[in-house]
Chains A and B, each alone.
Chain A
């Protein structure tokens, strides 16, 4: 049925047979998209008398809002902290490639660098919307140089600076222009950090605490002045102590101003944080969890040596170290891997895991009216997931055809009930293994052996406790005469 062209000539796409992440749960609804915006189909039906031009069968996939990566240092050989001639094409390449990981918006991150690097690179980063050509850029994330020397991590020490002398002017002089900056990570224990945080917050820039040795009260003061984010929780900060939890204590602090929420980034690749620590943080403050990749230039590349800012790093599987040391330096995990690992480690619902990578970063940056959700009139950057299947990036082609910037990716486990066929298989396997056990018992299980524990019962006969599950102690086959 052709759609009514009275409002817009753009084609309308209807994604059917899918589960949408909407209203914090997965619903069986269709997704309607026109010109990169999600439509309200009821309004389309009654007001515009319109209908879909293209119907796409999602075959039961999950459709989630596109992931937002607020900390990514580069990838596919491109380093955002390296000022090269073809920087713009590098950032375009990364933007295009991370679509296949489910990321539809990101903040290119620069590590601690000399001011000249900032002056060269920052003017080349521009805020732009995503589409089939690549993920959207929300603005730069400047991780440093106003950080603590004790917690520099992989950042070069000689570039670390302080703004104790001139406060905000020092910061301006270092970065040059603040036009395309979205997030700044700094250490709040540096003197005059409060006024700097206030100035940045006034300009709509999100302030994050990280690479710091601040105690809890310094961190709380920073939050009261406007800080809202913690850069890679647990990493590059003082460890949790029961008398001074440090920055980690912000998760359950009672000094957070009313109506404000502190978010915390976590690299859930299984290496930067132990899964137990991931669970502790998630259970303490589930609504603040923001999944980040902190990916370096080596992400998407083969193992070996690559550059990160002013240093050389070595990649070995999912581990990346500063060359010659055991200091972790960024990760090469992709966002979908992080979401999947988070889902498995915490045992949370699929909705929670997807929201940690989409809704919460959007809330952190104050853009949840446009991104991070599948609500009507928001941007249609969408992730389509299949349970347990491999990534296929074919969707971007369809996305370009319908002008809606959708991409295909994996997400984690489905909670759909097993089909009858699956149940039959499970049943058959259970029967088979039970048969194997019975056979083994008949072949080997008659005489008692010294490995089995023996117990004397009252009348002198002995009972064996069988290590094989499913065979009870009272089974006559195991009783000794």
Chain B
């Protein structure tokens, strides 16, 4: 069965967290922690505080009162962490571990949401080489029976313009071969932009409308380009942009050439993409960054200011963002940043 993912909490000096499944460290997690409803395991804050306090009653009423107050404070800190803005940088050892962490996180989110008919979990999905490991893990969880995509709606970030839908490099083919064909998602709930639509702007507006009708996106998973772009929002894109047609930057075309037999002329130069603003509207954002070639982009995204030349930096202003990366991707970060987020100082 799944266990909760290893994670580093923002503040390394956090006190022992209360009994909330999502944030419990994996060593202390029971095997079915993620599947059981949280309510069954949560005890009233005050009652627990007084229980702790009563255990210390022997030390004097002042001590008991102090520990009760501390307990209440811890509770409020935790509630704050749950519902207030959080930026997390989760650093795993290698690509496989990062993929597994991300997949478990998505899996937990879906299971705890308890999607049903009429109440779908909306997921934003990326393409490219980075999320492949994550998709494989999700498929594995589905095949094991732990996860169902029956009541999940997905919205892909982008699609090339002018590439036939059944072209092996189109993002429709990518999503079909790497994800959709292995899971039980309803075809009506899998939305991908159509790069061959007669009117591309109408297609983009319709996509935005579909997201709105689905009730917004609960969790948007994305990757990052070597030039710091999110989806195809190339350097210089407006940080409030919506779904639209974009011309690809040379960096992106060069990076994609390897999928087109190294022939630059075969790489599409335009694409439909969700805007930075569209992703910012999601309730939660998770960015996967693995590999040394993304290290500089991660540095620019986290340690420098919000800048439209590195569009991922916009997520510094998102209330709930998680950056999942491996050791190689942190090569350009300051040692103290890495230590802080690993909880090592």
Complex Cα spacing A1 to B185, Å: 9
- Which bracket fits the contact residues of B? 10 to 19
Complex Cα spacing A44 to B188, Å: 11
Which residue on B lies nearest to A4, using beta carbons? B187
B299 at the A interface (CB under 8 A): no
Q: Choose one: A1, A4, A45; the contact of B180 (CB below 8 Å).
A: A45
Complex Cα spacing A40 to B181, Å: 12
Interface string of B159-199 (1 = CB under 8 A from A): 00000011000001100110011001011101010000000
B166 & A50 in contact (Cβ 8 Å cutoff)? no
- For A46, list chain B residues within 8 Å (CB): 165, 172, 176, 187, 192
A473 at the B interface (CB under 8 A): no
B166 & A49 in contact (Cβ 8 Å cutoff)? no
Complex Cα spacing A48 to B165, Å: 14
Q: Choose one: A1, A30, A48, A50; the contact of B181 (CB below 8 Å).
A: A30
A49 & B180 in contact (Cβ 8 Å cutoff)? no
Using a CB-CB cutoff of 8 Å, which residues 177-224 of chain B contact chain A?
177, 180-181, 184, 186-188, 190, 192
Complex Cα spacing A30 to B183, Å: 13
A42 & B186 in contact (Cβ 8 Å cutoff)? no
A49 & B188 in contact (Cβ 8 Å cutoff)? yes
Which residue on A lies nearest to B181, using beta carbons? A41
A242 at the B interface (CB under 8 A): no
Which residue on A lies nearest to B177, using beta carbons? A42
Which residue on A lies nearest to B190, using beta carbons? A45
Which residue on B lies nearest to A41, using beta carbons? B181
B166 & A45 in contact (Cβ 8 Å cutoff)? no
B173 & A42 in contact (Cβ 8 Å cutoff)? yes
B166 & A43 in contact (Cβ 8 Å cutoff)? yes
Q: How far is the CB of B169 from chain A (nearest CB, A)?
A: 14
B186 & A1 in contact (Cβ 8 Å cutoff)? yes
Complex Cα spacing A50 to B186, Å: 8
Complex Cα spacing A51 to B166, Å: 18
Complex Cα spacing A45 to B166, Å: 12
- For B180, list chain A residues within 8 Å (CB): 45
Complex Cα spacing A45 to B186, Å: 9
Given A42-B166, A43-B166: A1 touches B184 (CB 8 Å cut-off):
yes
Interface string of B228-240 (1 = CB under 8 A from A): 0000000000000
Which residue on B lies nearest to A1, using beta carbons? B186
Complex Cα spacing A1 to B177, Å: 20
Complex Cα spacing A46 to B172, Å: 8
B188 & A42 in contact (Cβ 8 Å cutoff)? no
Q: How far is the CB of A200 from chain B (nearest CB, A)?
A: 40
- For B187, list chain A residues within 8 Å (CB): 4, 44-46, 48-51
- For A43, list chain B residues within 8 Å (CB): 166
Interface string of A3-47 (1 = CB under 8 A from B): 010000000000000000000000000100000000011111110
- For A48, list chain B residues within 8 Å (CB): 187
- For B173, list chain A residues within 8 Å (CB): 42
Q: How far is the CB of B206 from chain A (nearest CB, A)?
A: 16
Which residue on A lies nearest to B194, using beta carbons? A46
Complex Cα spacing A46 to B173, Å: 10
Q: Which residues of A contact B (CB under 8 A)?
A: 1, 4, 30, 40-46, 48-51
15 CB-based A-B contacts, threshold 8 Å: A1-B150, A1-B184, A1-B186, A40-B166, A42-B166, A42-B173, A42-B181, A43-B166, A44-B187, A45-B176, A46-B165, A46-B176, A50-B187, A51-B186, A51-B187
Shortest 5 CB-CB distances between A and B: which pairs?
A49-B187, A42-B176, A45-B187, A49-B188, A46-B172
Other than A4-B187, A41-B181, A45-B180, give 18 A-B pairs with Cβ distance below 8 A: A1-B186, A30-B181, A40-B166, A42-B172, A42-B176, A43-B166, A45-B176, A45-B181, A45-B190, A46-B165, A46-B172, A46-B176, A46-B187, A46-B192, A48-B187, A49-B187, A50-B187, A51-B186
